Amino acid sequence: MTDDPIQAYAEQHTAPEPPLLAQLTRETHLQTLLPRMSSGHLQGRFLSMLSHLVRPRRILEIGTFCGYATLCLAEGLADNGLLHTIEVDPEREARIRRYVAAAGLTERVRLHIGAAFDVLPGLVDEVWDLVFIDADKRNNDAYFEAVIDHVRPGGLLIVDNVLWSGKVLPTHEVRTGDKDTPLVRAFNDKVAQDARVEPVFLPLRDGLLLLRKK
């Protein structure tokens, strides 16, 4: 539960967090150093809603972390659909696979351990209906460019943490040595003008950018 009363109210009026995801949330908070990286209840239900609306046959997730968003996105998969998720940290593999199995999704979720730019060339034959980018933020633009030509027209890309704790706002003074904030800002500005996509920027949690490919 959050200390933010508005988010708490929103969660109270959102579909409840499924028990398995509540268990994953608790384990993530107890056993990881950065539990806030997990999507959590409200954002997770939103991702599930989007996936149900798109009914994707193929989902790509760049940045798995604990697998919370993975399970939420998989809820909307079409019959015979597959979700490919890429996680750079091998120490997270066991937990991800355990929860994917507990959700009964072993045959529908393909976990790739490694750097995204090493994994993506092996997936070039896929056409993505939905892409979720939630990895190292300085590479948002590189990930976007790597996948945009493989997203079907009308497909959806979602980019997380585009508010970057508010540091993208022009009133924020970028500190010396902060290499991420200028790159997140530049990406946000770029896709706002990119003729290939239609953007909607949502101030949900740390910012979600929805991009519909034209």
Residues 43-64, mean pLDDT to the nearest whole number: 98
DSSP 86-119: EES-GGGHHHHHHHHHHTT-TTTEEEEES-HHHH
pLDDT tier at 206, thresholds 50, 70, 90: very high
pLDDT tier at 34, thresholds 50, 70, 90: confident
| Domain ranges within the chain, ordered by starting residue | 5-213
* Residue 180: burial class (beta carbons within 10 Å; 0-12, 13-18, 19+): middle
pLDDT of residue 35: 77
Tens digits of residue pLDDT in 91-137: 999 999 999 999 999 999 999 999 999 999 999 999 999 999 999 99
Is residue 124 within 8 A of residue 96, CB to CB? The reply is no
Residue 69 is inside which H or E element, if any? helix 68-74
Q: Is the dihedral of CA 188, 128, 197, 10 positive or negative?
A: negative
pLDDT of residue 33: 80
DSSP 2-40: -S-HHHHHHHHTSPPPPHHHHHHHHHHHHH-S-GGGS-H
Just give the CATH number of 5-213.
3.40.50.150
Tens digits of residue pLDDT in 149-194: 999 999 999 999 999 999 999 999 998 889 999 999 999 999 999 9
